[in-house]
Amino acid sequence: MTLGRASGRRVSRLSPRRRRARRRLDRTTAAIGVLALTTTAAAMAGELGRVWRRGSAPLPAEADDVLAAAGEAARQSVEVAVEGYRTASMRENVLLNLLGSFVVTFGAVRTSTWLIRSRGEFGPFRELVVGPRHIHHFVPGIAIALLAGGAALVTENEALERWLAIAFGVGGALTLDESALLLQLEDVYWSEEGILSVQITLAAISLLGAMAVVRRTLRRGEAHVLPAGGSSAPATG
């Protein structure tokens, strides 16, 4: 019997109180996901507004075509990000790639496991079973992290480290997402022990860390792309 099937049978035997607790955990999961997406969207909107104010695109109150002005501001925002990444130090790029791949992988894994749990399988998302074994995603996660970290140590190639950091972030996210299972030596992924502490802690650290590094990168890009004075609203009386 696989762990996935055993987990399904345990769920079917839950008492009404435990089922209500599971539903609360599902709602908490959804709330954390919405919060993460909202925070990311707010940060992107804030950067777009900052570039719009400082860049060459006319402000909405001054523009004949607001959509065209918004497109120009969005284009300059992309330039800011690209230039900031290009002019950053290698270590900053490595850290940004690591945090970015960690956050994206963490979100993708939580979404896919939720789909598997709620639907059994959904498109490419399904449980991986080899013989009698259910292969948890910490297994490839550990392998990916070890290979990426080992390659970085052996090659000592800074240009390569930038890309190995992406693989290391993927492996780290796959592994830490199931850290509760590794600590408990039991399939507690969707239990009270496994969901709240892992999700809240890792989501908060990853989002805050990524936002801090991205903010610094964007500010450096602004210094190279945007004019010193920026556009300004006409003076009043």
From first to last of its 237 residues, the chain has per-residue pLDDT tens of 334 444 444 444 556 776 776 677 777 777 777 877 788 888 888 888 999 998 888 988 888 898 999 999 999 999 998 998 888 888 888 888 888 888 888 888 878 887 777 776 666 666 676 777 777 888 889 999 999 999 988 987 888 988 999 999 999 888 888 877 777 666 667 666 666 556 656 676 777 677 777 877 787 788 888 876 555 444 444
Predicted pLDDT at 191:
67
* Within a domain: 86: yes
Residue 38 sits in which domain range?
16-225
Predicted pLDDT at 193:
61
Predicted pLDDT at 202:
67
* Within a domain: 135: yes
The number of distinct structural domains making up the chain is: 1
* Within a domain: 49: yes
* Within a domain: 9: no
* Within a domain: 148: yes
* Within a domain: 155: yes
Predicted pLDDT at 11:
46
**Secondary structure in 3-state letters for the chain:** CCHHHHHHHHHHCCCHHHHHHHHHHHHHHHHHHHHHHHHHHHHHHHHHHHHHHHCCCCCCCCCCCHHHHHHHHHHHHHHHHHHHHHHCCHHHHHHHHHHHHHHHHHHHHHHHHHHHHHHCCECCECCCEECCEECCCHHHHHHHHHHHHHHHHHHCCHHHHHHHHHHHHHHHHHHHCCHHHHHHCCCCCCCHHHHHHHHHHHHHHHHHHHHHHHHHHHHHHHHHHCCCCCCCCCCCC
Predicted pLDDT at 166:
94
* Within a domain: 174: yes
pTM of the model: 0.68
* Within a domain: 76: yes
Predicted pLDDT at 3:
40
